[in-house]
Amino acid sequence: YCMKKRVLNPERLRKVPPQFSWIDHRLVQENHFTRCDHSAWTLYLFLASVADAEGLSYYSEASLMRRLNMDLVVLSASRRQLIQAGLIAYEKPFYQVLSLEPVGAPRSGPISVGELLRQAMGGRL
């Protein structure tokens, strides 16, 4: 069985931050840590660690509960906190760690022709 991955939120693809780390320093600098509890940050760190270059991963609830030593209630609450904080997107079975830039924020630096076309096509390309 081959799982076909798809980006859940193309406007919020992660980019390597200027300090060259997948864990963006703005999580601390912009007080994102006050938005969620410890179990949510445990889930976030795990997802950021296992995600591909687009921020995608697909671990089952059973696997996450086992690896993170959480029950279903705690996992669900943690996921909900991260979604509400705008840090992840989730559509079973896919998780996407999101960029910290809000949707529609001006980009710094050049934009690719492909990205311009994707925007013109409403995200479809």
- 116 pLDDT higher than 60: no
* Angle formed at CA 67 by CA 66 and CA 68, multiple of 5 degrees: 95
- For 48-65, what is each residue's pLDDT tens digit? 988 888 889 999 999 999
pLDDT at 4: 85
Residue ranges of alpha helices (H) inside 14-105 are: 26-29, 38-50, 61-68, 72-84
- Copy the structure tokens of residue 51: 């995600």
- For 63-110, what is each residue's pLDDT tens digit? 999 999 999 999 999 999 999 999 999 999 999 999 887 655 555 555
- 22 pLDDT higher than 70: no
Q: Give me the sign of the Cα torsion angle 38, 58, 51, 114.
A: negative
